[in-house]
Amino acid sequence: MMDCNLRPYQEEVVQAALRGENSIIWMPTGGGKTRAAVYVTKKHLETTVNAKVAVLVNKVHLVDQHFAKEFKPYLGSTYKITAISGDSNEKDLFGCLVKASDLVICTAQILENALINMEEEKHVELTDFTLLVIDECHHTQKESVYNKIMGRYVEKKVRKEGNLPQILGLTASPGTGGNKQLDKAVEHVLQVCLNVHIKTCLIKESKQHNNRKQTEAFKLIEENRKQTEAFKLIEENRKQTEAFKLIEENRKQTEALKLRSNEQKETIKHFRKGILNLLISTSVAEEGLDIPECNLVVRYGLLTNEIAQQQASGRARAMNSVYSVVAEEGGREIRRELTNEYLESLTAKAIDQVQQMSPREFRLKISELQQITVMSRIQAEKKKDEREQRYSPGQVQFQCRGCFLPVCSGEDLRKIENTHHVNINPEFECTCIVDRDNCPIYSLDRVIVYSRHCFQQM
């Protein structure tokens, strides 16, 4: 087993977690959040009786990535580690696998499905675990799977149903929730703390790591000599130039270059080793993917929030690296980048303000926010019940959006594994044409459905 040694700034941010307290580690992309989580997991397994850890991620590819690159090398020789996602054949035996494992790495949806499924082979309880690590915990918002799981956590906490696991959240940035005023941004950070069930102010960041030199994100390539020189190098290579022409000519077809999961892993592996030196990707590269430090990161026509922008700029970690935005001067992409720059600084101010709160003030703020959240949830559930009771499934009719011809009713739809919706009425095939051959490559697992009546896409 490899030694899991931390840098001083990483040691600083894990102290609360090592004391068994619920906490959030806020560290920029490339700062070593996952390595810190591995260290906390290792110490937890070593010191906790009947320890069992679940690492939750929000994307399928992160399951194998965390397993192969982080947890297995450091813990695999001593502990039984299982990686499960929707792509795993063993997902239907999740309950059995949890019992047989010390550490489970899975998508949040897998755990959520297991919590509501009462079959013995599939079912688990939150109390089966002693530590939950929530990757990208800023997604613990609204109707997200993370929030559903934490909602169950709070319910059990209120009812005092057994010993609940310690919570460790990881994030590059909690963000501001789109708020542009400091008081609202502070409220958002507190809401993230509430959703991850932190009772004392234990958000920790590495100021030493955060103080590294940042390249201004919003400058156009034409205005930056280094960026211009970097693109001259690209232009000297015909294949790379053709790739950028492809982007310019057809964004949709560029998305069509999407690879399957195993091909994606192999491509990133080659990129990491230097076999490939140019990677063109959709925004999936901004969060979680194990992409090494880059000399040049270019964002082309992306409209994302400040968290995604911060994650993208975090890829430019090599010496003298450049982070650039390609967009029309004065266009909405540049305006969004400038807004994100402001929101990023606002996030830092909001977190600093939360960290300056006394324990009593923090608990009071969290308590007030909890009451508002509970009331909002009750009202939302009431409205949802009212909508569901207004019409029976048989009264809900689905129509072709082209010719408005009825194609099925609500009674024909079923939900599989609490995720996928299917139409079980065999007569549905008589109303449509399923085209698998002409589906865009970027929709590898999908089909196009046309109406037999108007021949338009439904």
pLDDT digit string (tens) for 30-55? Answer: 788 999 999 999 999 999 999 999 99
Q: Parallel, antiparallel, or unpaired for β 23-26 and 203-205?
A: parallel
Torsion over CA: 316, 322, 328, 332 (sign): positive
Q: Indicate the pTM of the whole model.
A: 0.72
Is the predicted pLDDT of residue 347 greater than 70, yes or no?
Answer: yes
Mean pLDDT of the chain: 80
Structural fold of domain 393-451: 2.170.150
Q: Using 50, 70 and 90 to split pLDDT, how confident is the model at 380? A: confident
**pLDDT value at residue 215:** 39
**pLDDT value at residue 205:** 58
For the domain covering 8-210+359-377, report its CATH number.
3.40.50.300
* Alpha-carbon span 402 to 427, nearest angstrom: 19
Range in 6-10, 109-113, 209-213, 394-398 with the lowest mean pLDDT: 209-213
**pLDDT value at residue 201:** 61
- Tell me: domain 221-326, CATH 3.40.50.300, correct? yes
Residue-wise pLDDT for 410-425, tens only, equals: 899 988 866 678 889 8
Within a 13 Å sphere around the CA of 6, how many CA atoms are in the beta-carbon half? 21
3-state percent breakdown (helix, strand, coil) of the chain, nearest 5: 50, 15, 35
Residues of the chain with pLDDT > 90, as a percent, come to: 31
Q: Where are the domains of the chain?
A: 8-210+359-377, 221-326, 393-451
Phi, psi of 392 (to 5 degrees): -80, 160
Burial of 43 (0-12, 13-18, 19+ CB in 10 A): middle
**pLDDT value at residue 255:** 43
Is the predicted pLDDT of residue 134 greater than 60, yes or no?
Answer: yes
Is the predicted pLDDT of residue 437 greater than 60, yes or no?
Answer: yes
* Alpha-carbon span 376 to 382, nearest angstrom: 10
221-326 shares the fold of 8-210+359-377: yes
Where does 137-276 show beta strands of DSSP type E? 166-171, 203-205
Q: Which residues of 19-30 are buried (b: 16+ CB within 10 A; e: fewer)?
A: eeebbbbbbbbb
Phi, psi of 354 (to 5 degrees): -65, -40
Dihedral through CA 125, CA 131, CA 137, CA 140, nearest 10?
30
The residue-averaged pLDDT of 259-283 equals: 78
Where does 142-244 show beta strands of DSSP type E? 166-171, 203-205
Q: Where are the alpha helices (DSSP H) in 304-356?
A: 306-313, 332-356
- Confirm if 41 and 103 have CB atoms less than 8 A apart: yes
Range in 151-165, 175-189, 397-411, 414-428 with the lowest mean pLDDT: 414-428
